[in-house]
Amino acid sequence: MPTFCPKCNAMLPDGLEKCPRCGTKLPKAPGDPNALTPQEWRVLLLEAYKFALLPVGLAFLLGIICLILLYV
Ligand SMILES: [Zn+2]
């Protein structure tokens, strides 16, 4: 995907920090291959949330069962 210099509009190959034509500093290329998109972050957080909720839910259930056993 070629980029264009925001100042002189020259077509630039990827990975340049400066425009070779006018010397303008170029913004870093978007889309770090290792970076997660917000969508992926949400899925990841949801999974972590579920994972953290599982022991809490189990402990809660166990408590209820204990209460029932105690009072019945
Ligand atoms: Zn330029």
How far does residue 23's CA lie from ligand 1's centre (Å)? Answer: 6
Q: How many CA atoms lie within 13 A of 35 on its CB side?
A: 6
For the chain, residues with pLDDT lower than 70 are 1, 28-34
pLDDT in tens, 3-22: 888 899 999 888 788 899 99
How far does residue 11's CA lie from ligand 1's centre (Å)? Answer: 8
R_g (Cα) of the chain, nearest Å: 27
Q: For residues 72 and 67, what is the distance between their CA atoms, to the nearest angstrom?
A: 8
* Pair 33, 21: CB distance under 8 Å: no
Q: For residues 11 and 2, what is the distance between their CA atoms, to the nearest angstrom?
A: 7
How far does residue 12's CA lie from ligand 1's centre (Å)? Answer: 9
User: Where exactly are the structural domains of the chain?
Assistant: 1-30, 36-72
pTM of the model: 0.36
pLDDT of amino acid 30: 59
How far does residue 6's CA lie from ligand 1's centre (Å)? Answer: 7
Cα dihedral 56, 62, 64, 65 in deg (nearest 10):
160
pLDDT of amino acid 59: 94
